[in-house]
Amino acid sequence: KDRAALYMIEDAEAKGLLRPGSVIIEPTSGNTGIGLAAICAERGYKIILTMPETMSAERRNLLKAYGAEIVLTDGAQGMSGAIKKAQELADATPNSFIPGQFDNPANAAAHVNTTGPEIWEDTDGSVDIFVAGIGTGGTLTGVGQFLKAKKPEIQIVGVEPASSPYLTEKRSGAHQIQGIGAGFVPSILDTELYDEILPIEDSDALQTGKAFAKERGILVGISSGAALFAAKRLAARPENKGKTIVALLPDTGERYLSTAMFAE
């Protein structure tokens, strides 16, 4: 998400959409917002982030630490509510700019140019299946486009919440997997690219993510747990025996210590 945030800011600067005194306004579930807030602090832009009230306290505190102004929106409205509020604020704020992570091609470009090549190089081109959660769709689209260009037979598998399976069933709902399952189809998501979408239950994402820290010594977030569970499900299929599966774990569990994921 930090990569996408930097690409969107640099793209806007190159196009003259940002200048000294600009105010950046962005709807976020947290992680892209954290990346944007850090970059805005370094470059001197004011930033206002709209965010569903259901997102973790750690995310809010990190955003505040970087100097971001946070406007919380109704959790029941999900990301759609945050997007609507961001547009309202932008309409009322002079010299404002919305990067628009759900619609901005620079989001996916970050992963075409960095994440995709790194996965290809780190696996020496042996990757057979790539798994990632779908929030904006930027990661899946960018990495998927790069990998498919290198090896067309690679399978691209997306992950969404089972209780908000908009991509598979056109149905949205409340869920606990923060960062994915926006409840609509983002315009930057290449829906012709992926081979399969796996709906994952909240409980499976929470339990798998929590266990990973104790089993592997790597503390990951809830959507990482969803991607891990999906990867394990794929690995269990007989036809995938011996294949190299890469699951993208997008953030750290330190941002979720106050959530149900780590409740005793």
Is 126 designated active site? no
261 in Cβ contact with 210 (< 8 Å): yes
CA dist., res. 222 & res. 244, Å (int)? 23
Catalytic residue among 1, 85, 148, 210: 1
Q: Is the dihedral of CA 65, 66, 71, 73 positive or negative?
A: negative
Would you call 232 exposed, middle or buried from its count of C-beta atoms within 10 A (0-12, 13-18, 19+)? middle
Catalytic residue among 22, 172, 223, 224: 223
Which residue, among 42, 16, 23, 18, has the nearest Cα to 90 in the 3D structure?
Answer: 23
Q: How far is CA 28 from CA 9, 53, 88, 234, 242, in A?
A: 15, 11, 15, 30, 38
Is 148 designated active site? no
Active-site residues: which are they? 1, 223
